[in-house]
Amino acid sequence: MCGAGTGRFNMIRNGLYHCRTAFLDGVVGGSDSVMMLRDGVIRGGDSFYFFYGTYTCANGKVKAEITNEEHTASNGERPIWEKRVVTIGISGTYDDQTIESIGTSLVGKQSIRFKATLRLLIPD
């Protein structure tokens, strides 16, 4: 289980993370948010969106499934995800302070790839 273990690459540390995302493949956009990771569960958000999901990890590799929903109208600030429930799959690597990943979000019939970097702010 993530969040339990003693070795450097046995777990992702529980805590509050800063998350920076940037869309890939010529799609303009990205965001900064905060995420709480705890024992395989993800919760977080930013000014317009909240997200929730689960993750698994072992030996420096991580996979996650996240759902992203708008809580406040973004009024064209982020038109790609505006007024949609978006499902996201992520895979990447981690150490005791950071997570580097590539994700794919399914927005209607369009798949959008992005890079996400998480940095531990406050460990539990």
For the chain, the domains span 15-123
CATH class of the domain comprising 15-123: mainly beta
How many C-beta atoms surround the C-beta of residue 47 within 10 A? 12
Best-predicted range by mean pLDDT among 2-11, 20-29, 68-77?
Answer: 20-29
Q: pTM (2 decimals)?
A: 0.86
Tokens matching residue 116: 């996400």
3-state secondary structure of 56: strand
Average pLDDT score over the chain: 88
